[in-house]
Amino acid sequence: MNRVAELHPDKAEPGRNPGMALDLDWVDDVRVNRSAVERRAASLPGRRTVKKDWQAAWLLKAVTCIDLTTLSGDDTPGRVRRLCAKARRPVRGEILEALGAAELPIHTGAVCVYHEMIETAVEALAGSGIPVAAVSTGFPAGQTPFELKLREIEMSVAAGAAEIDIVITRRHALTGDWKSLYEEVRAFREACGPAHMKTILATGELGTLRNVGKASLVCMMAGADFIKTSTGKEPVNATLPVGLVMARMIRAYRERTGHAIGFKPAGGISRAKDATVWQALMKEELGRAWLEPDLFRFGASSLLGDIERQLSHYATGRYAASHHQPMG
| Residues that are catalytic | 165, 228, 264
With b for 16 or more beta-carbon neighbours within 10 A and e for fewer, the 66-105 pattern comes to bbbbbbeeebeeebbbbbbebbbebbbeebbebbbbeebe
- For residue 319, the tally of other CB atoms under 10 A from its CB is 11
DSSP codes, 14-30: P---------HHHHHT-
3-state secondary structure 276-308: HHHHHHHHHHCCHHHHCCCCECEECHHHHHHHH
Cα distances (angstroms) measured from residue 282 to each of 83, 191, 194, 223, 265: 27, 29, 26, 21, 11
Helices (H) and strands (E) in the chain, counts: 14, 7
Question: Do residues 301 and 70 make contact, with C-beta atoms less than 8 angstroms apart?
Answer: yes
| Closest listed residue to residue 108, CA positions, set 152, 56, 64 | 64
